[in-house]
Amino acid sequence: MKDVLTIIMAGGRGTRLMPLTLDRSKPAVPFGGIYRLIDIPLSNCINSQLYKILIFPQYKSQSMVDHLEDGWNIFSSDLGHYLRIVGPQQRMGAEWYRGTADSVRHNLYLIERERPRLVLILSGDHVYKMDYSQFRIYHEENDADITVGLLEVDRGQASEFGIAEVDNDFKIRAWEEKPREPKSIPDDPDRSLASMGIYLFKTEVLLKMLKETDFQDFGKDIIPKCVEELKVLAYPYRRLNRIRDYIHMVGPDGVRRLELVDGTRDSQYWRDVGTLDAYWNANMDLTGVDPFFNLYGSLWPIRTYQRQYPPAKFVFNQRNGDNPPRIGMAVDSMVAPGCIISGGIVRSSVLSYNVMVRSWAEVDESVIMDGVEIGRNCRIKKAIIDKDNVIPPHTQIGIDPQEDRQNFEVTPRGIVTVPKGHFTS
């Protein structure tokens, strides 16, 4: 993989994730307690032995830049490895980036200077595990000019994506953005191939297309144009992607043990967390005994910047007035370092660093971010609470939908989102 240059698009505004993106870009949004979304594609790169990475930020990127500088300074320049954060430089005029392809066009000199054989284009805000070395083998075995990562989805959902029409050899014959009548897969009439925002280019093809056109976006402009002139191949992600890792299995004897699996369940997992509902769902997919997206594998780890907090603590509280004694506990949940569960109960939730859950409070199916304090006797259910909130005792969030809508953003699914610093001490 030494001759592959990776470009990660990390400039998304994430307007549908407001208020989580009020002060941060979409790739910088926290995920899974200790991570940020950009850690996912970066970890896929490292696990795939890709060590030449360019990151293109744009909007409200400072928190992401701080995170990358603190936690991803792991590359050896002596070995030719690097991770470079390339801010918008207006090298081609006074305009900002107008799209994914335009951001690469503004930085073509970095590709020409590196002279890679292939260029891999990724989004910085999707949740999945993918072995890009398998993607590269597929691309070269089929002598493709461009290979596009595509997700098999039900046709009823396909109108939300860019959809590829393919022949029996998975060569892309046509491409349409958010079609009303999505084309199906030749051998599967109930499903369509939807864009994942993952593209592998022969370098000369990418350079020629960007220099000779003014196209702004890969999905909307470049791929449809290239389909007419070049060999553009579909990579059916759920059929071909295989992540090899150890997972817990229960044997015939009832004993739970680690077994090496070539193709874990989350080899087929992919989520675009572009909405608050999708973001909440992806976090909930981390919880439970057998999570849909497993962060505990040893052969395909997800890396991040680990902050220096003490281990999580769970405290027993004595009787207080009418309140009975209670042991602080968390069930089917992920609890980051620095958290203290002091006589409260946390169920099916994700807690980031330094969260305090005080006595007799209950937190269910919620995402709680850094530095949040949940007061005594609070009830929090199906909520996303952004950082730096001190929630007063006896507060209820996610219990009364009408009251929640008067104060907070409530999604179609009923997830309540509390903005950063809404409750002050």
Q: What is the pLDDT of residues 157-208, one digit of tens each?
A: 888 888 999 999 999 999 988 888 888 898 888 999 999 999 999 999 999 9
The values of phi and psi at residue 326, to 5°, are: -150, 140
Q: Which residue has the tokens 């389909």?
A: 227
Does the residue 392 lie in any domain? yes
- Distance separating alpha carbons of residues 374 and 362, to the nearest angstrom: 9
The SS3 assignment for 81 reads coil
pLDDT band at 220 (very low <50, low <70, confident <90, very high): confident
Which element (helix H / strand E) includes 128? strand 126-128
pLDDT band at 92 (very low <50, low <70, confident <90, very high): low
SS3 content of the chain, % helix, strand, coil (to 5): 25, 30, 45
Identity of the residue numbered 22: L
Residue 284 pLDDT > 90: yes
Q: Are 61 and 87 in contact (CB under 8 A)?
A: yes
pLDDT band at 94 (very low <50, low <70, confident <90, very high): low
**CATH classification of the domain holding 351:** 2.160.10.10
Does the residue 389 lie in any domain? yes
The values of phi and psi at residue 345, to 5°, are: -125, 130
pLDDT band at 43 (very low <50, low <70, confident <90, very high): very high
Does the residue 402 lie in any domain? yes
Does the residue 183 lie in any domain? no
**What pLDDT sits at residue 79?**
86
The SS3 assignment for 248 reads strand
Residue 81 pLDDT > 80: yes
Of 35-44, 221-230, 361-370, the range with the lowest mean pLDDT is 221-230
What single string gives the DSSP state of each residue in 206-232?
HHHHHHH-----IIIIIHHHHHHHS-E
**What pLDDT sits at residue 96?**
66
Q: Mean pLDDT over all residues of the chain?
A: 91
Q: What is the pLDDT of residues 139-155, one digit of tens each?
A: 999 999 999 999 999 98
Question: Using CB atoms within 10 A of its CB, is residue 86 exposed (0-12), middle (13-18) or buried (19+)?
Answer: middle
Close Cβ partners of 327 (under 8 Å, ≥ 6 residues apart): 314, 316, 317, 343
Does the residue 74 lie in any domain? no
pTM of the model: 0.92
Which one, of 346, 359, 327, lies nearest residue 385 by Cα? 346
Which one, of 259, 261, 265, 272, lies nearest residue 238 by Cα? 265
- DSSP lists the bridge partners of residue 194 as 151, 163
**What pLDDT sits at residue 289?**
82
Does the residue 369 lie in any domain? yes
CA-angle at 235, arms to 207 and 228, nearest 5° = 50
- Distance separating alpha carbons of residues 149 and 218, to the nearest angstrom: 13
Mean pLDDT of 216-220: 85
- Distance separating alpha carbons of residues 405 and 282, to the nearest angstrom: 23
Does the residue 91 lie in any domain? no
Question: Using CB atoms within 10 A of its CB, is residue 257 exposed (0-12), middle (13-18) or buried (19+)?
Answer: exposed
User: By residue range, what is the domain housing residue 346?
Assistant: 313-418
**What pLDDT sits at residue 424?**
86
Residue 292 pLDDT > 80: yes
Provide the number of structural domains found in the chain. 1
Residue 255 pLDDT > 80: no
Mean pLDDT of 248-263: 78
Does the residue 355 lie in any domain? yes
